[in-house]
């Protein structure tokens, strides 16, 4: 390729509910939109929807280079890093959860660009660009991409009251949203100040970095690298902070906040059961164990009985702590596993902690069906298979086969 002078390339059912207003949605018609109808099986699921997007051409590597008469032809130039772009969704940049992958797929459909759908980043190392030059001049060798950023929301299935007073299940904007970053495929090339380039293109961004019109651009200069301008230095990224270490064990660790909090619990106790089947959530006797599907009997010792504590409601969604009558602990996801898909639901001493708070999504009045979402992680509760002893786990998008929908029945 050549660059020329002219171109370059119960208690629950008694609480009231208000419908959530519709909001912007992605252009992907297969994805649910706010206000679309859903079924009871969707109570235990959630989906992302894209609220805002911004596409900005970004230069990741750059080097100014003088080419004199007699030094044209194929040149290989080692460029300097100017910007490092990392793919991320919310606070998690591993993109290992189904929710994050679905969010980036929605971004792709919304902006109509082929963006990265998994964790990656542009190189923070010096990178070479090889280009065939046919004219002498002051060149900017570059690598760049289109950086795509924006915000997303979370759609949850919940009941909403209609204009005629009846109730229906709809996809409504639930708690949990954030920002995302991704980028398109990398482009590389070389550009001169006098080249005509498309506006708002990656090449135009590189031309702007070339510092056209400066003394460096017009002065006689031997062939080779040109010292970076102040603008080019400003474009360089700051070094990444030193990584921190952590643990991946599933057992929750004691913290300074592990003292039991005073809870205002409902008088009613509930079973959180699989609809139409005998197994329900059973809390463990041992702290190292997790909440499992267990049969309810006179020998359950209230380990299958839960109370809703410190209950609040906003836009028809209940927020509560789940206190177990049998072991006196509160349901939680262990802090060190908060970002882990399929992390096991545990019980620990009750505390003021968002990991111990859950949103409850409800079916229409008269039905006990619910979906349960952890406030801090945003993940829905469910299980891998229906079996005695099977763990209750968190899933970022819930269980699409309906195994995240439960019955909340008073006992």
Tens of each residue's pLDDT in the chain, 411 residues: 343 333 333 343 333 333 323 333 333 446 789 999 999 999 999 999 999 999 999 999 999 988 888 888 888 999 999 999 999 998 766 787 899 999 999 999 999 999 999 989 998 888 899 988 888 888 999 999 999 999 999 999 999 999 999 999 999 998 878 999 999 999 999 999 889 999 999 999 999 998 776 655 555 667 777 777 767 676 666 655 544 444 333 444 433 333 345 789 999 999 999 999 999 999 999 989 999 999 998 889 999 999 999 999 998 999 999 999 999 999 999 999 998 999 999 999 999 999 999 999 999 999 999 999 999 999 999 999 999 999 999 999 999 999 999 999 999
Identify the pLDDT of residue 12. 39
Query: What element of type H or E holds 74?
Result: strand 73-81
Strand partners, 295: 279
Count other C-beta atoms under 10 Å from residue 265's C-beta.
Answer: 19
pLDDT tens digits along 42-63: 999 999 999 999 999 999 999 9
Q: What is the pTM of this model?
A: 0.78
Cα 23 to chain centroid distance, Å, stands at 19
What one-character-per-residue DSSP string does 253-320 give? PP-TT-SPPP--B-S--EEEE-TTSSEEEE--SSTTS--EEEE--TTSTTTT-EEEEEEEEETTEEEE
Strand partners, 129: 77
Pairwise CA distance, residues 140 & 126, whole Å: 15
Main-chain dihedrals φ then ψ at residue 86, nearest 5 degrees: -115, 135
Identify the pLDDT of residue 216. 56
**Pairing mode of beta strands 380-382, 393-395:** antiparallel
Q: Cite the beta strand spans of 97-193 per DSSP E.
A: 127-133, 137-161, 167-183, 187-192
pLDDT tens digits along 123-182: 888 889 998 888 888 899 999 999 999 999 999 999 999 999 999 999 999 887 899 999
């Amino acid at each position: 390729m050549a660059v020329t002078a002219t171109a370059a390339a119960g208690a629950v059912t008694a609480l009231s509910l208000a419908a959530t207003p519709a909001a912007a949605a992605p252009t992907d018609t297969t994805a649910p939109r706010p206000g679309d109808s859903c079924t009871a099986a969707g109570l235990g699921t959630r989906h992302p929807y894209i609220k805002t997007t911004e596409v900005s051409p970004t230069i990741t590597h750059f080097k100014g280079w003088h080419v004199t008469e007699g030094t044209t032809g194929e040149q290989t130039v080692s460029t300097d890093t100017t910007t490092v772009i990392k793919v991320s969704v919310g606070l998690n940049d591993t993109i290992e959860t189904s929710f994050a992958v679905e969010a980036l797929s929605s971004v792709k459909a919304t902006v109509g660009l082929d963006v990265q759908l998994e964790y990656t980043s542009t190189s923070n190392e010096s990178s070479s660009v090889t280009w065939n030059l046919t004219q002498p001049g002051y060149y900017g060798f570059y690598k760049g991409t289109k950086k795509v950023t924006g915000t997303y929301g979370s759609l949850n299935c919940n009941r909403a009251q209609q204009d005629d007073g009846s109730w229906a299940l709809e996809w409504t904007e639930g708690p949990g949203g954030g920002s995302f970053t991704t980028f398109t495929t990398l482009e590389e090339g070389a550009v001169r100040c006098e080249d005509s380039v498309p506006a708002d293109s990656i090449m135009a961004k590189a031309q702007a970095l070339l510092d056209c019109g400066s003394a460096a651009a017009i002065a006689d200069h031997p062939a080779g690298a040109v010292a970076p301008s102040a603008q080019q230095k400003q474009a360089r990224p700051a070094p990444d902070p030193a990584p921190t270490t952590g643990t991946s064990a599933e057992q929750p660790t004691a913290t300074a906040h592990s003292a039991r909090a005073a809870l205002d619990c409902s008088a009613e106790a509930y079973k959180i059961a699989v609809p139409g089947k005998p197994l329900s959530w059973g809390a463990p006797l041992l702290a190292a164990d997790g909440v499992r599907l267990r049969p309810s009997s006179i020998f359950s010792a209230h380990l299958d009985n839960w109370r809703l504590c410190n209950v609040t409601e906003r836009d028809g969604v209940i927020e509560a702590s789940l206190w177990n009558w049998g072991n006196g602990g509160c349901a939680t996801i262990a802090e060190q596993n908060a970002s882990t898909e399929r992390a096991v639901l545990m019980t620990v001493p009750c505390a003021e902690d968002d990991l111990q708070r859950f949103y409850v999504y409800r079916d229409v009045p008269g039905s006990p069906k619910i979906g349960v979402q952890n406030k801090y992680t945003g993940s829905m509760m469910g299980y891998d298979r229906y079996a005695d002893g099977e763990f209750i786990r968190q899933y970022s998008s819930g269980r699409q086969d309906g195994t995240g929908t439960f019955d909340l029945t008073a006992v």
